[in-house]
Structure formats: C-alpha cells, structure tokens
Amino acid sequence: MWTSPVDKDNAALAAAAEWFARLGDETADEVERQRWREWLAAAPEHARAWARVEMIARPFSRLRANTPPACSRQALLEVRREPRRQTLRLLGVGAMALGGFALLGAALPRPTQWQVLAALNADLRTGVGETRQLELDDGSQLSLNTATRVKVDYNDALRRIVLYDGEILLDSGVDRRNVPRPLVVDTVHGRVTALGTRFSVRRVGDQTRVDVFAGAVRLAPLDGDATLTVEAGESGHLTARQAAANGAAAAAREGWTKGLLIADNVPLADFLAELGRYTTVKLEAEPRVSQLRLVGVYRIGNPGRDLPLILAALEGSLPLRVATAGHDHLRLIAK
C-alpha cells in the first residue's frame, strides 16, 4: 500500500518520540543505542524526525546550563496553576423577606444579549439565576448557565476554556487561522476536545458531564490514558480516572441556553435539583411526592419572575402543593 509522505513523517515522529523515551531511560544499554543508530540510518525521514527531537531538547539544555533548573521547573508549573477555587457569593439571600413568593422577586440579573468578548484571556462568571451568552474571538458561541465560572484562554496553540464551576454550552466556531487550533474545555477531571461541534459541559460533584448535540467530542481523563469519543445525540462523563458513555444526550442540557427548563419524564426530585440551581431559595419535595414523574417545558429566562410560575404549574399538574418550610425554604407536599 502506498503511504503518503505526511503519514510517513508522522510515523517517523512517533518512532522518534519512542526512541527519545527509551534512550532517556537510565537502563538503556549499548544494544539499545545500536538499534537506535540503525533506525536513524534506515530512512531520511527518521533522521529528519530526530533532528526535531534535538531541536526541542535545545531550550532545555540552555535552562540546565545557565540557572538552577528547579527554579525553571517551578516557574513553568507555577504559571499554569489554576487560580484557587473561589466560592460563589450567593445573591442577596439574607436581605430578602421571609417566605412566600415575594422573596423570589429579588432583582436577579437578566440574561444579557450576545456580547462580543474582546479580551483573549478573561475570567467569566454568572451568579445564581443568571445566564450569559458570549461570542468569542473565533466566532464560537459560549453560553454560561447559572452559578458558573470559566476562564477563556485562547493562545497561539490552543483555544482553551477552563470550566471551574457550573455548566457551559459551546457552539464551536471555525478557527480562521491557517492551521486551526484545537478547541478544548478543561475541568478538574480532564479534557474535552471539540471535533467540530455543539456540546455542553457541566461539573456535577465528582464528575464532568458532557452532552453532544452536533458533531462529536473527545473525552480525556486527567489521570488515565483511555479516551472516549462521544457522538452527536450521546452523552458521557469524565472522572479524573476515566471517561465513560452515559446514554442519550439530554435536551435539558441544551434547553437552558434558550431560557428553558426541560423535564423529560424525570422524577420531581431531580427537576427540583435542576430548578434549585437558579435560585438561592431551598426547594425540596417530601418523599411522598419526590418520585412523581414530570414531563414539561418551563421558561426560566428570568428566575425571579419565572420560579413562582413554575411552582404554580407544578401545583396544577401534580397532586401537590407548595408550602413554606422556613426562611428561603419551600417544601412540596402531597395535596
């Protein structure tokens, strides 16, 4: 079979990287070195590939020669350390009146119009009940769900978004550079690489959930080698150690960008957990009603206005009523 020059070069680079790793091993012996010399002489692309390895090693040897190497290492690792996690300050909960729906009317910020993000390196956040949509430099559209914090870090090599808290949906744009840069979302659990696509990434507890609506993404756990490709219509999740499939993508994971809360035959308890992300009011269902299943689409564009309406709709469609259980605390109980 004919092999294209590009494939040959790539294969040579992979082999060169392998040789680099083997020769760097303190147990590498003369036999190994002889085999390496034979490989080197076997094809011109091998020699070319090795020349690149040496080029990459050059700045390292300069750093070793001039200054304390540990300091260089520390500096290189330090500039990549993620900013310390900050607790999101809940919006004005203490200042609100006791009980009743009136307390939901607090002025939560409304979703903003599309904004063009000028800064290349920006920390973005939304408060509880706030959603936000932005257009990034490359035309990608980034939506932030409630209580979300991300960093947009576009550099020469990578279009990188770091998700610290909450949930985002990305409609990836086309990188107009000559060599398009990969678009990735990093979380504490690993890396999600866009393969031309619309997808959402959400941090929930000890995992990162990914739902794909167009194209595909690749999931790579922080501490494991096996990656997983998730196609349109599917979902998956990442823990620090592994990536796994989750079944069908949930419409709810896309609906929020349109200000919609979608319940697709889910238990009431799950729906309340979702709804609870948009408000500082504590919502709970007593056991007798918490497993009732719910189907519906609810508007949550403006949580302050919409939450009472949603609760009223629940009272209308399920055998339950909403009771005040304490300060900023509502309980759904059987009728």
Partner 1 sequence: MDLAAASGECIGDIYRAHHGWLHGWLRRQTGCGERAADLAHDTFLRLLGRQEAKPLGEPRAYLTTVARGLLVDFWRRQALERAWLDALSSQPEPFAPSPEEKALTLEALMQVDAMLDRLKPRVREAFLLSQLDGLTYREIGERLSVSERMIKKYMAEAMLNCLMLNVDEPRG
Interacting residue ranges for partner 1, rule: CB under 8 A: 9-10, 13-14, 16-18, 20-22, 24-27, 49, 52-53, 55-57, 59-60, 62-64, 66-80, 120-121, 155-158, 160, 179, 181-182, 191, 220, 222-223, 225
Write down the least CB distance from residue 185 to partner 1, Å: 14
Cβ closer to partner 1: 75 or 174? 75
Write down the least CB distance from residue 229 to partner 1, Å: 18
- At 61, the amino acid letter reads S
Cβ closer to partner 1: 150 or 272? 150
Cβ closer to partner 1: 241 or 293? 241
Contact 159, 181 (CB under 8 A): yes
Q: Please name the residue ranges forming H helices in 43-106.
A: 44-66, 69-78
Write down the least CB distance from residue 252 to partner 1, Å: 31
Cβ closer to partner 1: 14 or 102? 14
Write down the least CB distance from residue 8 to partner 1, Å: 13
Rounded to whole angstroms, how far apart are CA atoms 321 and 331?
Answer: 8
Cβ closer to partner 1: 93 or 162? 162
Write down the least CB distance from residue 119 to partner 1, Å: 9
Angle at 156 between CA 154 and CA 161, to 5 degrees: 20
Rounded to whole angstroms, how far apart are CA atoms 90 and 94?
Answer: 9
Structure tokens, 217: 């993404």
Write down the least CB distance from residue 69 to partner 1, Å: 4
Q: Is 37 helix (H, G, I), strand (E, B) or coil?
A: helix
What contacts 95, CB < 8 A, 6 or more positions away?
106
Q: Is 69 helix (H, G, I), strand (E, B) or coil?
A: helix
Residue 63: Cβ-neighbour burial (10 angstroms; 0-12, 13-18, 19+): middle
Rounded to whole angstroms, how far apart are CA atoms 122 and 153?
Answer: 7
Cβ closer to partner 1: 102 or 226? 226
Which residue bears the tokens 């993404």? 217
Write down the least CB distance from residue 151 to partner 1, Å: 14
Cβ closer to partner 1: 120 or 297? 120
Contact 257, 169 (CB under 8 A): yes
